[in-house]
Amino acid sequence: MKLVILSGRSGSGKSTALQALEDIGFYCIDNLPALLLPDLVSQMSSETCHPERIAVSIDARNLVSNLSRFPDILNQLKQQGWAECEVIYLDSAEATLIKRYSSTRRKHPLTNENTSLQQAIIQESQLLEPIANMADIRIDTTRLSLYELRDTVKMRVAQRKEQTLSLLFESFGFKHGVPLDADFVYDVRALPNPHWIPELRQYTGQEQPVVDFLSAEPDVQVMVQDIQQFLARWLPLFTANNRSYVTVAIGCTGGQHRSVYISECLASHFAGLMDNVHVRHRELS
């Protein structure tokens, strides 16, 4: 049995992610008290025709004592061995969460006459810290649409083969901020920039004119090789330590040319070595 525990701050997209898992066959439960997780798994395991994949959402509406005990609860589940457990934590930049609540006029579950929206968002982050610290994967939804979030959950969580590492290469632009969910961040702004060549500016790092330009630059190829060698050396240790997900972020200035090209090169290389390799271009989406 596979158990996905989904959490994150209100407004980060938990409902959308849970619906995406339900669409592909997960038995889903929203807002489960954390203390009931062992009982849920025990009950499901005892059923003759129990679901093979379960997803539960746990949020700040839980009792504070329940949330603080989450690490012990998760360790108990893993020791019992009834289910393969994964913790997925969604989050967004604070300004994005405030904007989402302001535009929808929804009430944050922690706001009251003494607690403003911004204070509630900060407080919620503190309450959910025990879960966030145990997350197998963090997904930054700041710049994701509903459809992109659904695709990300299906791609990284649902399609991952058991006991294999899911590796994501994500290009981005530093001027738009570093992805919150990155495990490794590589800065490639020192490389030649096609943006300053007028006939290349309109293209992206996925298109042939930019590909031809960057592939002919020696420093670009050295950068790609250095990153490949580093990851080839250390990814096996992540796998040996039961790490399920790794996100490698490649950043240039605008996220259009150099970071896109290098992410594509790395994804193509590691796709020949591993099963679950994905690439995403944050600024192109």
Task: State pLDDT tens for residues 162-175.
Answer: 667 899 999 999 99
Q: What does the pLDDT read at residue 28?
A: 94
* Residues 246/160, Cβ–Cβ less than 8 Å: no
Proportion of the chain above pLDDT 70, given as a percent: 98
Q: List the beta bridge partners of residue 169.
A: 248, 279
What is the structure's pLDDT at 102? 79
For residue 118, pLDDT over 70 is answered with: yes
pLDDT, tens digit, 9 for 90 and up, residues 144-197: 888 999 998 988 876 666 667 899 999 999 999 999 889 999 999 999 999 999
> Which contiguous run of DSSP H or E holds residue 55?
strand 53-57
**pLDDT over 90 (residue 281):** yes
What are the residue ranges of CATH 3.40.50.300 in the chain? 2-159
120-123: long-range contacts, CB 8 A cutoff, minimum separation 24:
121/9, 121/10, 121/94, 121/97, 122/94
Look at residues 63, 76, 87 and name the one whose alpha carbon lies nearest to residue 14.
87
pLDDT higher than 70, residue 100: yes
Angle, CA of 243, 140 and 184, to the nearest 5° = 50
Q: Which two tokens stand for residue 156?
A: 């990284």
CA distance 185 to 195: 22
pLDDT score, position 198: 95
Tens of pLDDT along 74-90? 988 888 877 788 999 99
**Residue among 68, 8, 69 at smallest CA distance from 38:** 69
Beta strands 245-252 and 137-140 are unpaired
d(CA 270, CA 251) in angstroms, rounded, equals 19
pLDDT for res 178: 92
For 199-257, what is each residue's pLDDT tens digit?
999 999 999 999 999 999 999 999 999 999 999 999 999 888 878 899 999 999 999 99
Residue with the bigger pLDDT between 114 and 16: it is 16
pLDDT digits (tens, 9 = 90+) for 24-48: 889 999 988 988 888 888 888 777 7
For position 161, what pLDDT does the model report?
65
The mean pLDDT of 265-270, rounded to a whole number, is: 97
The CATH homologous superfamily of the domain defined by 2-159: P-loop containing nucleotide triphosphate hydrolases (3.40.50.300)
pLDDT digits (tens, 9 = 90+) for 52-76: 889 999 988 888 888 899 999 998 8
